[in-house]
Amino acid sequence: MSELIEFLAERIAEDEASAIREAGRLDVALVGAFAPAHLIAKCASERQIVGWHRDRGLDFCDECGWSMPCPTLRALAAPYVAHPDFLPEWGP
């Protein structure tokens, strides 16, 4: 379980860094003022959800009540299925 949490934390950090880099290169007049801010806020929300699910050594999620990894963490991991560190047991 902690592997999935660590995997998600790393991907969220990468996404956030990418959004910050993009914000510095974009012409706000062309793409709108809120695109990078939206992505950074999305990363903060995902980080908060992952934080609620920190490994407590349980076989079930005490946040969701499901067996681990719970559907919430699987849903957060789904966009990264092609990542080389993604494990099949995290899939849908």
* pLDDT-derived band at 84, boundaries 50, 70, 90: very high
On whether residue 52 sits in a domain, the answer given is yes
On whether residue 88 sits in a domain, the answer given is no
On whether residue 18 sits in a domain, the answer given is yes
The pLDDT value given to residue 36: 77
The pLDDT value given to residue 48: 92
The pLDDT value given to residue 13: 94
On whether residue 42 sits in a domain, the answer given is yes
CA distance to 10, 24, 35, 84, per residue, from 87 (Å): 14, 33, 31, 8
pLDDT exceeds cutoff 90 at 33: no
Please count the structural domains in the chain: 1
On whether residue 7 sits in a domain, the answer given is yes
On whether residue 87 sits in a domain, the answer given is no
Tokens of 39: 């992505």
On whether residue 89 sits in a domain, the answer given is no
In terms of phi and psi (left: phi > 0; alpha: psi -120 to 50; beta: otherwise), the region of 87 is: beta
For 43, the domain range is: 2-81
On whether residue 24 sits in a domain, the answer given is yes
pLDDT digits (tens, 9 = 90+) for 36-75: 778 888 999 999 999 888 777 777 787 788 888 889 999 9
